[in-house]
Structure 1
Amino acid sequence: MNDRSPAAALIADTGRRNEAAILNAALAAFGDKGFNGASMRDVARGAGTSLSNLYNYFPSKSGLLAEVLRRANDELYARVRRAVADAGDAAGPRLRDAVRAYVGFVVDHQVAAVVAISEVRYLTGSDRERLVAARDSTEAVFAEIVAQGADDGEFRTPYPADAARSIVSLCSSVSTWYRPGGRLSRGQLAELHARYALALVEAPLAGTA
């Protein structure tokens, strides 16, 4: 995964510098080597700390992965919710801006988005259950918007639940192929996927401008 675009640090330093450094180093290690290939020693080295100090923060590699993915989903969820709240009441603009926010997150944090797709299979038990619940919360935002549009007649799809799941999958899959310096800018890429999403729900495209 080391050919992905470099991204800004996912976890900001808000007074817990060691933890932020560890989590960002873990994300880089998982992105570069995968969960199985990355070691706790790799993470400690990347964070500029000792292995023993790393274990004080995170006793297991799976717990570290779970926390990285939880933080990533929290950031994605917050971006989508803010975009939807600012979009007004109509389903079309709400869906358009939710997709724009999702794609923007993927571009900004591509490694986190790829790790969320490829490495989640290594989580088990309560770690996996909590992450699935968090992901479901994000998908539920899209499901609610599509259901609203279908109920109001703004969206003509007879399959709102399936359409919402397809839109989320469409947005997340951008992480697997996006490269910086491509023919589309960040904004153009987000706009293109907003149009795709509106087409999936069989909505007019006039509101995408």
Structure 2
Amino acid sequence: MNARSPATLVADTGRGNEAAILNAALDAFGTHGFHGASMRDVAKRAGTSLSNLYNYVPSKSRLLAEVLRRANDELAARLGAALADAGDDAASRLREAVRAYVRFIVDHQVAMVVSTNEVRYLTGADRAGLVAERDATQAVFEDIVAQGVADGTFATPYPDDAARAVLTALSAVAGWYRADGRLSRGQLAEQQARYALALLEAPLAR
């Protein structure tokens, strides 16, 4: 895996080894992928015993699902906060949502890459839950685009496809972003916001 920003997603929860286990799992999945990572490796990274790890979570699949759920919760919280502070117009809301998404990717790049590459290993309720959370994120962008199309801010004749294209482009950032690249965190967020507005055929703010 190419992306190697610090694999820290969960702050101390006050629940024993929970944060250490989840962050260790994220790092293991980010380094070795789902099949390459082992529960023993996760336990070692977390500084706990294998038996204690199994007391916390019954399987590697459940552990992956919990890591991805935490990532989605963090992304949803950031999007909600950004939209709460944005203006009421669609262009402002879209710009702030994109910026929040990009900042999440920069701060949690490994989590984003794992979410993209390893989700195929989830099944049943774990997969259904993750799909529902992703659909909720997509709905945020679809609603903004629909608002902009309705009031004439966005000229795209393909609102649903355009919203998905914006999200696809944002998700791809995790695969190529480098902390030592030419763009700062803020510059990258602004670049992607401008790309999104252009895709939606919106006038760029001066």
Q: Normalising to structure 1: TM-score of the pair?
A: 0.96
Q: Give secondary structure in 1 for the equivalent of 2:17.
A: helix
Aligned partner of residue 155 in structure 1, secondary structure? coil
Q: For residue 43 of structure 2, what is the aligned residue in structure 1?
A: 44
For 1:124 and 1:140, locate their aligned partners in 2 and report how far apart those are by CA, in whole Å. 23
Matches within 5 A, 1:184-199: 184-199=183-198
- The residue that corresponds to 2:32 in the other structure is 33
Could you tell me how far 1:14 is from its partner in structure 2? 2.2
Q: Following TM superposition, by how much is the alpha carbon of 1:115 offset from its aligned partner in structure 2, in angstroms?
A: 0.2
Q: Residue 100 of structure 2 aligns with which residue? A: 101
* Paired residue secondary structure (2:3): coil
State the alpha-carbon separation in 1 of the partners of residues 192 and 34 from structure 2. Answer: 30
2 CA distance for matches of 1:75 and 1:186? 18
Gap runs ≥5 in structure 2: none
What letter is aligned with 2:87? G
Aligned to 1:154: 153
Amino acid at match of 2:63: L
Amino acid at match of 1:4: A
Q: Describe how 1:135-146 pairs up with structure 2 within 5 A.
A: 135-146=134-145
Once the two structures are superposed, residues 75-104 of structure 1 have per-residue CA deviations (whole angstroms, 9 ceiling, x without a partner) of 011101110111021000100000000000
Instruction: State the partner residue of 2:59.
Output: 60
Compute the displacement of 1:6 (Å): 2.3
- Structure 1, unmatched stretches of 5+, are none
Give the drift of 1:17: 3.7
Question: Aligned letter for 2:116?
Answer: I
Counting matched residue pairs gives 206
1:21 corresponds to: 20
Contact 1:5 1:180 in 2 (8 A): no
